Structure 1
């Protein structure tokens, strides 16, 4: 399922549905957009995820693939974003070793293309690391 914003010409959400065997609700794997909210069925929660935990959301524009990692408070000099063609991922690291994340690129994987370092750029604003990967020419 895809959601497309006609005003900005951006795919805002893409999700894949995974069917279960017999009973229960089907699960959705969110490829683009904010992750599905998780609700607890019980009212008493002893342990839950911190609201300041970094999380990744993904967008596609006409010319770029974009990842936004929210809740990362470190300055821009701390971050390193590299392309790993062997694993077909982008890797985000901090110099202080507080954050490490491998970002898969399913769009390039579907086209059997490898990520290239020269197509990567990133910026940091309002505790959000914005990673931009320039789309290959069609």
Structure 2
């Protein structure tokens, strides 16, 4: 049903074409996954953790983007300073056959970028040494699947770098099985919660 590792208490519900699965782990970490019913892809996955003092963190988006009002709030620091508007912003998205990373505010030509798999992470570099970032695909880490350079593609347009990582066949099979479990769990039009 869910794409995260097993464990924890799960509740699922359907509303406005989106199926949400809320998982609470034994350590009180929360995860909410949102699946588009028509496209059958994960459109959002966000985590909220509890620290050692019992404080609950803000939602950390692993897949998808923050709603606009939360983006504005997250830029604000306690001193009322704001992050630069030209700072690169990284978001992860999923499609049926690829994991996608979209990095905005990247003004250089495509020939300037290099994306490789190193230490089971995607490493993004620029030839002019203006940008360097390591990206993790947690879905592959959970399944203990190593990244392969042959599965990496990228395109640059409109000041945005889009990185495509092809999903391995075992992940596609796993997602297909999870889709079947989700469709059996909640029928279209069901508004109520159901515990797994």
Query: TM-score, normalising length from structure 1?
Result: 0.86
- Identify unmatched segments of 5+ residues in structure 2: 1-31, 171-196
- Identify unmatched segments of 5+ residues in structure 1: none
Residue in structure 2 matched with residue 2 of structure 1 by the alignment: 33
**SS of match in other structure, 1:118:** helix
> Within 2, Cα distance between the matches of 1:26 and 1:75?
37
Cα gap change, 1:24/1:113 in structure 2, threshold over 3 Å: closer, same or farther? closer
Q: Report how many residues are paired.
A: 134
1:17 aligns with 2:17: no
What is the correspondence of 1:1-138 to structure 2 with a 5 Å cutoff?
Answer: 1-20=32-51, 24-35=55-66, 37=71, 38=74, 40=76, 45=80, 47-84=81-118, 87-138=119-170
Query: TM-score, normalising length from structure 2?
Result: 0.62
- Structure 1 residue 65 displacement after superposition: 0.4
Cα gap change, 1:25/1:95 in structure 2, threshold over 3 Å: closer, same or farther? same
Which structure's residues are more often strand, by fraction? 1
Cα RMSD (Å): 2.0
> RCO greater where, 1 or 2, for CA within 8 Å and sep 6 or more?
2
- Structure 1 residue 40 displacement after superposition: 3.8
Which structure's residues are more often helix, by fraction? 2
